[in-house]
Amino acid sequence: MRLYQALAKALRDHGVTTLFGLIGDANLFMVDAYIKEFGGTYVSAANEIGATVMALGYASGSGRLGVATVTHGPATTNTLTPLIEGVKGRLPMLLLCGDTHIEDRENLQDVSQRDLIVATGAGFEPVRSPNTALRDLSIAIHRAFVERRPIALNVPVNFMWADIDYEAVRLRLPQLPGLVARGDELDNAVGIIAGARKPVILAGRGAIHAREALVRLGERIGAPLATTLKGRDLFRGAAFNLGVFGTLSTPLAAEEIIASDCVIAFGAGLNRFTTSQGAFLTGKRVVQVDADPAAIGRNWAADAGVIGDAATVADLICELFDMAEIPAPGTRGRVLERGAEIHPLDFKDISDDQTIDPRKAMTRLDHAIPAERVFVTDTGRFTRYSWTHFSVPDPASFHFTINFGSIGLGVPWAVGASYAAPDRPVLLVTGDGGFMHGGLNEFNTAVRHERDLIVVVINDGGYGAEEVQFRARALGSSTAQIDWPDFAAVAIALGGDGLAVRNEHDLACAAQAIAQRSRPLLIDVKVNPRWNSEGAH
């Protein structure tokens, strides 16, 4: 078998059913074999940024390995921003990048791929020879899972047509569930919780598998429940749910959090958004539980740090409380039974003749889009509002695409996420700037690959996040204003459907278009650039 075929077969043998990519002379035969000889699903992105981001969206939605392939040189340099996003978001991803023929000194596309990739924080795994290639591939996949970051497997093009004997390489991944490090820190944690008056349980993305155990712990110790933004809606429907803990907390939740004296955090990084710049943890005892030892104490010096799986540690704390007959330290009486789940704050409707208030439009579109959805956002001024106006069925359906703060990743991310949840529509909320940055080209990819994608563009005619900064300094904001084309017409020209929303009547048409959609749909919500200038937030 030729190496390009063997790599394609090995991907299939490792369970890679979907490959995102863009071909060039260093990977084209491998992609062709993956599709035609080994029956894999191949998604041909319009840009390598898109291909790599799609693999991240897939990894984030499925918990499986996301795989993208690109050719050498400029194709590989195009992946750098998504690789950093994947490193910061801790997503297991494999980037199969071809590399220039080793003897081809003057090749236009030659560049030191190792130096570039290592600088992103991603791992670099060179294929050392055709004979080691399958082993090198399995090591790269193993590393992607264990190190929870993208790993680039670098395959020199001159190896691709080498003859090799195919032999499947077995992959053994460590299993972490059930892990608890017993010892002083666990005793310490139990002591701190037992001595609390008003504990609160906080669950982050690393604890979204532990809902039942955390609800039981909440009942046992008398603590209300809260999540980080990335863990949002984990406790939806549970009693004593405070919703989001952090800068997006409701006033009721913030009041309860501030009045508490102990926070027990599970799988939460305790970053400045969760801690509300430290204000939500200052003066409290903090117990941090995380399966990743490196997360303990990284952003906040907790009073006790327990290394372990969230569900197992929560159950163990209950058991230790029962064994020692410790009474529930907290009482949840003052917290509303109904909870204080994430919800939009009140606002003054500033719709006018030509534009609609985005908060009103988002509220209405939230009802029109099926509740069993996947929710992805791009980034900009609109983002935090979209987080509170659109619901998700559970935290795993919520995608966070801005660990590196880049605009423009939303559309390709949504395309990748749709392969992780093929039975559900994917809702992407983006700004007009983000859509033009990286969404336009991959919207057509969604069309070609028949994705069930609904793109809501909050269109303020420019870069709103910058517009507010000009305004805050009493400067004119014309530099932030851009005369974009008509997005609905563009969406139709790209093979999808599109419509603009300026008023109530248009909202009703949008609801109908959502119900009848048969191809990717773009809803261009025309908003006044000064929409959040009245000081509602």
Ligand X SMILES: Cc1ncc(C[n+]2csc(CCOP(=O)(O)OP(=O)(O)O)c2C)c(N)n1
Question: 154 — phi, psi (to 5°)?
Answer: -100, 115
Please, which residue, 231 or 408, has the CB nearer to ligand X? Answer: 408
| 130 counts as binding ligand X under rule CB under 6 A | no
| 433 counts as binding ligand X under rule CB under 6 A | yes
| 460 counts as binding ligand X under rule CB under 6 A | yes
SS3 154: strand
Torsion angle (degrees, nearest 10) of CA 366, 371, 373, 375: 40
Among 432, 442, 497, 524, binds ligand X (CB under 6 A): 432
Please, which residue, 332 or 502, has the CB nearer to ligand X? Answer: 502
Distance CA 397, CA 391 (A): 10
State in angstroms the smallest separation of the CB of 421 from ligand X. 24
**Cα separations (Å) of 431 from 243, 446, 479, 491, 522?**
26, 18, 17, 15, 12
Please, which residue, 263 or 458, has the CB nearer to ligand X? Answer: 458
Distance CA 149, CA 367 (A): 36
| 464 counts as binding ligand X under rule CB under 6 A | yes
Max Cα distance, the chain (Å): 75
| 358 counts as binding ligand X under rule CB under 6 A | no
Sheet with strand 453-459: strands edge to edge:
398-399, 374-377, 426-431, 453-459, 521-526, 497-501
| From 179-187, 293-301, 363-371, 460-468, span contacting ligand X (CB under 6 A) | 460-468
Please, which residue, 69 or 379, has the CB nearer to ligand X? Answer: 379
State in angstroms the smallest separation of the CB of 408 from ligand X. 6
State in angstroms the smallest separation of the CB of 387 from ligand X. 13
SS3 202: strand
Please, which residue, 444 or 532, has the CB nearer to ligand X? Answer: 532
Please, which residue, 117 or 407, has the CB nearer to ligand X? Answer: 407
| From 107-115, 234-242, 260-268, 456-464, span contacting ligand X (CB under 6 A) | 456-464
Please, which residue, 256 or 460, has the CB nearer to ligand X? Answer: 460
State in angstroms the smallest separation of the CB of 383 from ligand X. 7
Please, which residue, 119 or 301, has the CB nearer to ligand X? Answer: 119
Among 321, 382, 398, 413, binds ligand X (CB under 6 A): 382
The DSSP secondary structure of 358-375, one letter per residue, reads HHHHHHHHHHHS-SS-EE
Among 381, 424, 449, 451, binds ligand X (CB under 6 A): 381
| 21 counts as binding ligand X under rule CB under 6 A | no
Count of residues touching ligand X (by CB under 6 A): 18
State in angstroms the smallest separation of the CB of 57 from ligand X. 17
Distance CA 98, CA 70 (A): 7
Within residues 515-534, the interface with ligand X by CB under 6 A covers none
Within residues 398-427, the interface with ligand X by CB under 6 A covers 405-408
State in angstroms the smallest separation of the CB of 32 from ligand X. 32
What region does 480 belong to: left with phi over 0, alpha with psi -120 to 50, or beta? alpha
**Cα separations (Å) of 174 from 56, 137, 170, 312?**
22, 17, 13, 17
Half-sphere exposure of 435 (CA within 13 A, CB side): 29
| 431 counts as binding ligand X under rule CB under 6 A | yes
| From 177-185, 203-211, 319-327, 462-470, span contacting ligand X (CB under 6 A) | 462-470
The DSSP secondary structure of 298-338, one letter per residue, reads SSS--SEEEEB-HHHHHHHHHHHHHHTTPPP----TTS-TT
Distance CA 508, CA 502 (A): 11
Distance from chain centroid for Cα 55: 11
Question: Tokens representing 196?
Answer: 């609390």
| From 249-257, 359-367, 439-447, 461-469, span contacting ligand X (CB under 6 A) | 461-469
Please, which residue, 313 or 458, has the CB nearer to ligand X? Answer: 458
Q: Could you tell me if 307 and 296 are in contact, meaning their C-beta atoms sit under 8 angstroms apart?
A: yes
Question: Tokens representing 279?
Answer: 């204000």
Binding residues (CB under 6 A) for ligand X: these are 379-382, 405-408, 431-434, 458, 460, 463-466
